[in-house]
Structure 1
Amino acid sequence: MEMILNENDLVVGARFENGTIQDYVDEKKIYGLIRIEDSTANWFLFNKEESGEDLQKLYKKVLKEEHFIENDFGEEIVIFNKKGTQPFEAFINKIDEYLGDEMGSFI
């Protein structure tokens, strides 16, 4: 996975063999976008205790739509607005890999 950096050398996404992932694609910097081959989905990390008001509202809205949530020790990876043929699990696997690589770059 090749990390994408912004002008301040902060990780803001990544490229991988068959797609890309971005941390934020909205004005409020609440959710990101992941693309695998012909499929896309929006995603964000959510923690019931620590997430801000905008993220809390989005979470409640997403629960009413088609979505997938992977609970990762109290922090949830939330995927919504999926389009295309890739299953939710493929998105989760890439997001997990991305988050693991991103954390590894800080250590």
Structure 2
Amino acid sequence: MIEAASITAVMRALADPTRRAVFEQIVNSDEITVVELTRASSVTQGAISQHLKALKQAGLVAERPEGRKVYYRAEPEGLEPLVDWMSHYGVFWRDRFANLRTLLKEIDP
């Protein structure tokens, strides 16, 4: 199965609603700075930086320094552990619903 540590890191990073909102802002832009992220939110620049640190540690964002600015971009590969995990359980539930459908057809002639 999928490595539990990477799934846990991604889930923890995305568990916080503010962090999810920051991640969505990053996903919806090619690259974005901390200043731009701060302007678009209701939290401080320090808080945004902490959220970015967690997202970066989880492999969800990457940074590119340019002069005094640092640009952040989404790393789609970072979501792979979560997608793999969800796919595994998607198969599980599809099988269960197929079995339930068969059972219901047998019960109701």
For normalisation by structure 1, the TM-score amounts to 0.32
Higher relative contact order (CA 8 A, sep 6+): 2
**More strand, by proportion:** 1
Q: Which has the larger radius of gyration?
A: 2
**More helix, by proportion:** 2
